[in-house]
Amino acid sequence: MSAERPTMPPVRLNSEAELARDALAAPLLVRAVRLARWAGPDTRVGAGGELVEAQLPAAAEHLGLAADEDGAAYASEAWRLAVDTGLLDVTDPDGDALPDGADGPEAEGTVTAGENLALLTGGSPQDVLAIWLDGLDAVHADATAPVLDDFEDLVGEDGSIDFDALDWDPEAEAEFLDGVLGNLYLLTLADSGAGDEPVPLPALAASMIVPDDMGEPTDDILEQVSEAMMRLDDQFRLLEPIGLVEYRPVDEALLVEEGEAPDGSAADADEDDVTRYGMVKLTPLGLYGVRTRMQEAGVDAPAVGDLADKGAEALLDGIAYYPESAARAEVELWLAARGTGDAVAAAADLLAAAR
């Protein structure tokens, strides 16, 4: 029985050991690990597990960052990742210890090293990649969270937050970003996996907005592409530190608000330079991460080597729609898995399955 055509072309992934090394080198995970090792008995957290504001400057200093607003933001981001990936275990504050409305040290929780912290140095590559994938999920969630420019306008007189006013659909936001990453994955695998050039951000945004049968995009469609591009610029800035992508952000000179005077660099910039509008590519670790997310969503995203432990008939069915180079590599891995001693028997199995 012939196999169905897979949804995605086969990908050639680096070894798990190489991917784990890349994961450990991801800047955001590096910072999270450093903070997890820095945390001690005197470290205090809020009800949501966040590092208390008073300790953010010290955390930023430990990371070699300036003790300013940006440094505190980076430290807070790394701290959240440490908590989300199990590098730190949070003991929530005892809310019963204080009367209603009171505030004080008793309302703060504590942290201890999580078991995943030791796995990063003493575990297997699979352990490291599992922790990194948890981190990717957390960053992906942050990237699809609503942008709160005017948070005060969302707070009612009774202190409640009007979530309906956000006009935010979390499932739609996540689906859109996953669709963009899926398209980037396809472009990376173009021409039998040789598509390693960065993709212009406008083209990636247009791939999600412009209908395939549309000739000249309308002004409304172009406006939607522009809005999507700006949103993706923010999202890829968040996704780069976890090691998913290499990203060249949109030129800041293009983000000048209407009525504001551009700086001197804008006058000298080449308007036809597409790189000014953002360029992005998946890293080898990013290929692994996006493929894993697609598989979890039920997408058929094969990798070269998946069939090495299958029978001859499954091998031939599986490579039926593979590009020639990927099919050849898959067969070579299949034969190598059987060793030189079984080469004749393996060849006979292939011939029998091909009949």
339: CB partners within 8 A, 6+ apart: none
Instruction: Tell me how crowded residue 251 is: count the other CB atoms within 10 A of its CB.
Output: 15
Residue 311 binned pLDDT confidence (cut-offs 50, 70, 90): confident
Backbone angles phi, psi at 88, to 5 degrees: -130, 140
User: Encoding tokens for residue 162?
Assistant: 């009007």
Q: Which residue has the higher pLDDT, 305 or 151?
A: 305
* Whole-structure pTM value: 0.85
**pLDDT value of residue 211:** 83
Give the SS3 label for residue 224.
helix
- Could you report the per-residue pLDDT of 254-294, keeping only the tens digit for each? 776 444 555 555 545 566 678 898 999 999 999 999 999 99
Closest CA to 81 of 20, 31, 24: 31
Residue 16: what residue type? E
Residue 47 binned pLDDT confidence (cut-offs 50, 70, 90): confident
For residue 2, pLDDT over 50 is answered with no
pLDDT over 70 percentage in the chain? 81
For residue 215, pLDDT over 80 is answered with no
Instruction: Tell me how crowded residue 288 is: count the other CB atoms within 10 A of its CB.
Output: 26
**pLDDT value of residue 165:** 63
**pLDDT value of residue 253:** 81
**pLDDT value of residue 351:** 77
Question: Within 13 A of 41's CA, how many CA atoms are on the CB side?
Answer: 0
Work out the average pLDDT over 7-19: 93
Give the SS3 label for residue 203.
helix
The C-alpha atoms of residue 107 and residue 103 are separated, in whole angstroms, by 6
* C-beta separation of 88 from 50 below 8 A: no
Residue 295 binned pLDDT confidence (cut-offs 50, 70, 90): very high
248: CB partners within 8 A, 6+ apart: 198, 275, 278, 279, 280
Q: Which residue has the higher pLDDT, 72 or 256?
A: 72
279: CB partners within 8 A, 6+ apart: 198, 199, 200, 201, 247, 248
Closest CA to 287 of 350, 222, 196, 213: 196
**pLDDT value of residue 112:** 93
**pLDDT value of residue 119:** 96
**What is the pLDDT of the chain when averaged over all its residues?**
84
Kind and range of the H or E element at 327? helix 324-338
Work out the average pLDDT over 47-65: 92
Per-range mean pLDDT, top range of 47-56, 104-113, 309-318, 331-340: 47-56
For residue 191, pLDDT over 80 is answered with no
The C-alpha atoms of residue 185 and residue 204 are separated, in whole angstroms, by 11
Residue 163 binned pLDDT confidence (cut-offs 50, 70, 90): low
User: Encoding tokens for residue 226?
Assistant: 């522009």
- Could you report the per-residue pLDDT of 73-129, keeping only the tens digit for each? 999 999 999 999 999 999 887 655 444 544 444 578 889 999 999 999 999 999 999
Backbone angles phi, psi at 276, to 5 degrees: -65, -20
Least confident of 74-83, 156-165, 345-354: 156-165
Burial of 21 (0-12, 13-18, 19+ CB in 10 A): middle
Work out the average pLDDT over 311-335: 86
Residue 150 binned pLDDT confidence (cut-offs 50, 70, 90): low
The C-alpha atoms of residue 153 and residue 3 are separated, in whole angstroms, by 55
Domain locations in the chain? 170-255+272-296, 312-354
- DSSP annotation of 348: H
End-to-end C-alpha distance for the chain, whole angstroms: 12
Q: Sheet with 199-200: list strands edge to edge.
A: 199-200, 279-282, 245-248
327: CB partners within 8 A, 6+ apart: 319
- Could you report the per-residue pLDDT of 166-190, keeping only the tens digit for each? 667 888 899 999 999 999 999 998 7
Provide DSSP, 55-79. Answer: GHHHHHHHTT--SSHHHHHHHHHHH
Per-range mean pLDDT, top range of 191-195, 232-236, 333-337: 232-236
* C-beta separation of 108 from 44 below 8 A: yes
List beta partners, residue 91: 110
User: Encoding tokens for residue 110?
Assistant: 């504590």
